[in-house]
Structure 1
Amino acid sequence: MSYMEFKPLVKKVNLKPKGIVEIVLETSITDLQGKIDPLSSMIDRRAEASLDSLVVNYNVAINTKTNKPVVNYKVDDSGVVHEVKPEGEQIEAELGLPKEKILTKEEQEEAERSVIDDFIREGFAPQFDDLPYDFQSIISRKLSGETYMKIASELDMSSGKIVELVDEYRSRVAPMALKWDEWRKGKDKPKAANEKKEDKPAEQADANTENKNSDSPDDVAASKADQGETEGSTHDPEQQGQDASGVSENDADDHGAEKQEDAAAAIDKETLEAFILSGQAPVFEEIEYDFPALLARRKAGETWLKIAPTIGTSSTKLQAAWSRYKKLVTDHMAKQNGGEPGAA
């Protein structure tokens, strides 16, 4: 056997003397079942190789004030992904006001290529004016066994150019593909057995109505007393929710929330990850993974795609949990800072 395919992990790229580059690949015994002897026979012999990453890297624009993605998506019942405008931006559009300038920062994320390719092949991925190619056909043909060289020759371009275009297209649609993947996984889940509440029996409803209409004067008085409406009370609606300083509870809450948002925005990626690695981050019941340990592995060179199988999950689910965990830790740090950036 002079030809074989398998899906290895690229472990090392070593630069050696005399312009030699040593590439170390690692794979499982099951991936090479029946291929070990033929592969061994290739040692010290020239071979043709091509590597195509199974991970797609893409950038996400983050609002520095809210520490959330600038662009969000939702999926309708037919599986079509739509961009969701932030509430403030939607109001500005309706009133014809100029857009507020938002300070952003870029964060790199990664996704499984198979999820993105499924999204494209199913025909849900959008087209872009500056990428006028039938990527649904290109990726379907590539996955069916055709080479980039053959496809590129039909499009009158180099194989390097078509790989570059496909990579860019995958990166652009990656956030939409992940949202679509959540939708397709959730649409077939059975509804909870007790999701539909039973209506109250007519007799019970009539009894409740009768009791309500037959309240005694003492009951009415007691009810009013509970609400602060008894005779002689000094209740003033304008003073409700207001402290001695004249500041309403709502205003105080809004002010506290603004301070917390400002403190959260001041926490950059390096500060957040250093805090997590220090062991000071709290444990959250809704987060099932030990992210301080997993982050240490990622810092050591592993990707979420490699880490996920070792803990019995998918990289998509792991990345979603990681994003949620970062948000929870950021909020915790902001509260701890007391609205003073850098106090943690």
Structure 2
Amino acid sequence: MTYANFKSTVKKVNIKPKGVQEIVLEINGDELDGQLEAIAGMVDLRVNVELDAARITYRRKYNAITEQPLTQYSVSEKGIVEVKQPEQLELEGMPEEEVQIEEKEVVIDRELIDAFVMSDMAPTYEGYHKDLLDILKRRIKGESYRTLAEEFDIKTSELVEQVKLYRMQVAPLAEAWNKWKKEKGEITE
């Protein structure tokens, strides 16, 4: 079986006649390390492809005056991430409804979230498939969305969406956990 695994950037999507789409990927540096021959052998063959973004974007609320996130996180000595009480919005003499809140996009490497999930410190939430954490761990280890969806009797598109939303939801916790690991000297950059 011919196989290749690499990180790339999607550079272009072309819509061609007769319902054909062409996707152009750009691979930098030594990402292909010895895999180019295998890929060349796949030209004009049907292949299975799964693209998963390497970065996760989520939205976070900030106090426009202090520029601090409204929700803060603390990490216990055991590595459990907890939500701190929201920052006090009422400033001296200013009613709460006049405090300006901004929502900003935050980008985090998916690998940080996945490390948090694999650490068994990531929480479970209602509204997701009951086995989502186990499914996600298996996905991180390389199993395909299609295989997992079939096994757990869920539509592939629904599973992909749940994984995306879950990663966005735990992203700020993963950031706090990662910062805590760095402070302990367990992660070096």
**Equivalence for 2:103:** 106
Q: Structure 1 or 2: larger strand share?
A: 2
Write the distance in 2 (CA, Å) between the matches of 1:159 and 1:143.
Answer: 16
Write the distance in 1 (CA, Å) between the matches of 2:182 and 2:164.
Answer: 25
- 1:146 partnered with 2:159: no
Task: Could you tell me which runs of 5 or more consecutive residues in structure 1 were left unpaired when the two chains were aligned.
Answer: 90-98, 190-312, 315-344
Q: Secondary structure at the match of 1:173?
A: helix
- 1:185 partnered with 2:189: no
Write the distance in 1 (CA, Å) between the matches of 2:119 and 2:150.
Answer: 25
CA RMSD of aligned residues (A): 2.7
Q: CA deviation at 1:30?
A: 2.5
Write the distance in 1 (CA, Å) between the matches of 2:40 and 2:151.
Answer: 37
Please say if residues 117 and 133 of structure 2, whose CA atoms lie closer than 8 Å, have aligned partners that are also in contact. yes
Q: Secondary structure at the match of 1:88?
A: coil
Larger Cα Rg: Structure 1 or Structure 2? 1
Please say if residues 116 and 174 of structure 1, whose CA atoms lie closer than 8 Å, have aligned partners that are also in contact. yes
Write the distance in 1 (CA, Å) between the matches of 2:45 and 2:134.
Answer: 36
Q: CA deviation at 1:100?
A: 4.1
**Equivalence for 1:165:** 162
Deviations 1:289-341 (A, max 9, x none): xxxxxxxxxxxxxxxxxxxxxxxx96xxxxxxxxxxxxxxxxxxxxxxxxxxx
Question: Structure 2-normalised TM-score?
Answer: 0.82
- State the aligned residue count: 183
Write the distance in 2 (CA, Å) between the matches of 1:38 and 1:120.
Answer: 32
Please say if residues 148 and 159 of structure 1, whose CA atoms lie closer than 8 Å, have aligned partners that are also in contact. yes
**Equivalence for 1:60:** 60
- 1:121 partnered with 2:128: no
**Equivalence for 1:227:** none
Write the distance in 2 (CA, Å) between the matches of 1:145 and 1:181.
Answer: 22
Question: Structure 1-normalised TM-score?
Answer: 0.48
Q: CA deviation at 1:159?
A: 1.4
Please say if residues 121 and 137 of structure 1, whose CA atoms lie closer than 8 Å, have aligned partners that are also in contact. no
Q: Structure 1 or 2: larger helix share?
A: 1
- Of residues 8-17 and 74-83 in structure 1, the stretch that sits farther from structure 2 once superposed is 8-17
Deviations 1:274-297 (A, max 9, x none): xxxxxxxxxxxxxxxxxxxxxxxx
Correspondences of 1:1-344 after superposition (within 5 Å) = 2-28=2-28, 30-88=30-88, 100-101=96-97, 103-188=100-185
Greater relative CO (CA pairs within 8 A, separation 6+) = 2
Please say if residues 57 and 110 of structure 1, whose CA atoms lie closer than 8 Å, have aligned partners that are also in contact. yes
Q: CA deviation at 1:156?
A: 1.7
Flag the 1:25–1:173 CA change in 2: closer, same or farther, 3 A: same
Deviations 1:241-263 (A, max 9, x none): xxxxxxxxxxxxxxxxxxxxxxx
Q: CA deviation at 1:178?
A: 0.6
AA of the residue aligned to 2:57: N
Percent sequence identity is 36
Q: Secondary structure at the match of 1:69?
A: coil
Write the distance in 1 (CA, Å) between the matches of 2:18 and 2:147.
Answer: 34
Write the distance in 1 (CA, Å) between the matches of 2:70 and 2:41.
Answer: 53
